[in-house]
Amino acid sequence: MDAALNPLLADWSAPHALPAFDAVRPEHFRPAFEAAMREHRAELAAIVADPRRNFESVIVAFDRSGERLARIEALFYNLTASATTAALQAVQREMAAPLAAHWNAVRQDASLFRCIDDIWQRRRGLELDAEQQRLVERMHQDFVRAGARLEGEQRERYAAVVQRLAELTTAFGQNVLHDESDYMLELRDDAAAAGLPRFVRDAAAQAAADRDLSGRMVITLSRSLVLSFLTFSHHRDLREQVWRAWVGRGERPGEHDNRPIAREILALRREQAALLGHACYADHALADTMALTRERVWALLDEVWQRAVPAWERERELLLEAMRAAGVDHVLQPWDWRYWAEQVRQSRYALDESELKPYFALDAMVRALFDCAQRLFGLHFTHRPDLHAYHPDVHAYEVSGQDGAVIGLFLHDNFSRPGKRSGAWMSALRWQHRNAAGGGRSQPIILNNNNFAKAPPGEPTLLSLDDVRTLFHEFGHGLHGLLSDVGYNRLSGTKVLRDFVELPSQLFEHWAQEREVLQRHARHHATGEPLPQHLIERIEAARRFGQGYETVRYTASAIVDMAVHERCEPVDDIVAFEAEVLARRGAPPAAGLNHRLVHFQHLFSGSGYAAGYYVYLWAEVLDADAYEAFVEAGDPFDAPTAARLLQHIYSRGDSVEPGATYRAFRGREATLEPMLRDRGLIN
């Protein structure tokens, strides 16, 4: 393809240098990737050939290299996650190995590593400031962990392992998306929809319309629709059908079966770790975290597990009591839990989710996000309807700081739809740094993706309290990217240690539950009336109900993750292995897990959270302790505390070691008690 006709290789001249979304086609990506990889290789060859061998010519130049490749990759992976097609998926499969080979060749380039290693060896005497020292150390660590010190057959084998892993993790994610997109439960009449509030029926009708089934109602495997159906449907048999489809994603025999794929991924990860000198993959993964060792992770998981199971048992007794009162005598099963928990919530706390949802319209909660960001950090979000992204549902906001200067762009993509993977996540089309070509500043373009069930046209999308927390969580990640103020791309935004990255996001969830925020922004979508005080009090009273259930489910998934990645022997049957681990722990079957191994995308659609799902709990220790600073100040928007939070957490990226930057904010190490208290695991 002629480069002049490829919009991916042309200058991106739209405002904020957005890509020409309307002009990009799947067939543009392979030639664009190939051209960008050639350009990157030429940049790296120039670094090696430069005789100066100093911080600027090696470290700064490498940090700046590959800009075109990075922007094409960012666009591609955002599209394959948020708006994929069969053609894009084909390109994704086709390019997985070549892209992995390219990046592996970069990290294992012996001449390039010698240049970086030379600077690393001499770093103490180069008069570098603290951020520059950190950049050298992190960059050197990246190369070492990617096998830069391997030689001969080991180097070749490592490259082959990395390329095969790229193919397998791509296939794993596509298989989960296939099973999610392939399933529908049609509700053929009002009787089939018994128990479903209006907002669930509306979401089911919109899901049908999105699939060209207007006038019908369908339950898909969108998380918000699944959880709502399991919470409200009176039909136990239908709840079981939906639950089994949800937990069985990735386990169907045939071409989309993830069991053999996960088995091979685990085997290759064991080999990868061994090549790098580690006893197991968990040791390799944890060597570059705050936790550092399996022992510290297990200590946290064990402490929480032994407190969570009794809390779950207390909740179970409440559910069984409600079942007995209703004359129900069947065994409590996983597809029953949310339904009976809702009955308990209504009777014990007079808290009905269908009564609450009208006060949590999506548009109002987005305004709440922006208001909290303004009050804490001085940010202003200006809607730019003239800026078009990859789908009409995506809203663009220009972000400016206290002085009115624009600091970046925020793209908000909130709805579930065909071609979009499940879950919620933050990503970027561009990262903040001051090391762009010519020494300029790169302004961030940050995306938040959610999967809320969209209301029919003309109706507001109403959120559950869990949805609101998810909205705030992802926006916390978004703020981490938008508020980044560092010199170098490698250290920007969320590019921090994995068990620190969830701190800014989980911390921001606290403002979703603040009485002051609820009073200001939770208003009835039809009447404009504020959320009544008695409902706020009920929300606060019920806040810890269900935490035993949620904590058991999360911790069980983290335990299975650590167990499977610290294993040194082959795992022939991941389903049996998962069951064995849970049985040894005495995990209650009625609770289930957040994610089963067959569809655990955190672990198998990439390596970022492999032997790392514990990080949400690790970060929760930090976020609960951090929010105590506002509690101690007596104001959730206390200006001096917010200023410290911005200075030491949200703006620092990876320019400071995370333990040190947390101590700088808090004045001490984090303690475990606030997290246990927040979850109701201690009094």
Please, are residues 102 and 34 in contact by the beta-carbon 8 Å criterion?
Answer: no
How far does CA 347 lie from the centroid of its chain? 34
Amino acid of residue 416: S
Token duo for residue 584: 């040894």
Phi then psi for 361, rounded to 5 degrees? -70, 140
Nearest to 387 by CA among 10, 74, 15: 15
Distance (Å, whole) CA 36 – CA 481: 25
> What's the Cα-to-Cα distance from 556 to each of 60, 159, 637, 681, rounded to whole Å?
43, 33, 35, 16
Token duo for residue 558: 């983290």
Q: In what order do the strands lie in the sheet with 380-383?
A: 380-383, 395-400, 406-415, 445-452, 425-430
Q: How many CA atoms lie within 13 A of 140 on its CB side?
A: 17
Strand, helix or coil at 400? strand
Distance (Å, whole) CA 177 – CA 344: 34
Please, are residues 627 and 476 in contact by the beta-carbon 8 Å criterion?
Answer: no
Distance (Å, whole) CA 207 – CA 270: 41
Please, are residues 452 and 361 in contact by the beta-carbon 8 Å criterion?
Answer: no
Kindly state the greatest CA–CA separation across the chain.
83
Q: Is 211 exposed, middle or buried (0-12, 13-18, 19+ CB in 10 A)?
A: middle
Please, are residues 117 and 144 in contact by the beta-carbon 8 Å criterion?
Answer: no
Q: How many CA atoms lie within 13 A of 564 on its CB side?
A: 36
Distance (Å, whole) CA 680 – CA 471: 23
Distance (Å, whole) CA 250 – CA 569: 23
Distance (Å, whole) CA 11 – CA 29: 15
> What's the Cα-to-Cα distance from 142 to each of 106, 129, 213, rounded to whole Å?
11, 20, 49
Token duo for residue 339: 């339904």
Distance (Å, whole) CA 22 – CA 7: 10
Please, are residues 349 and 541 in contact by the beta-carbon 8 Å criterion?
Answer: yes
Token duo for residue 551: 């904590």
> Which amino acids are annotated catalytic?
474
Strand ranges (E), 147-193: 185-187
Strand, helix or coil at 495? coil
Name, in order, each residue with C-beta under 8 angstroms of 286's C-beta and a sequence gap of 6 or more. 292, 293, 294, 297, 611, 612
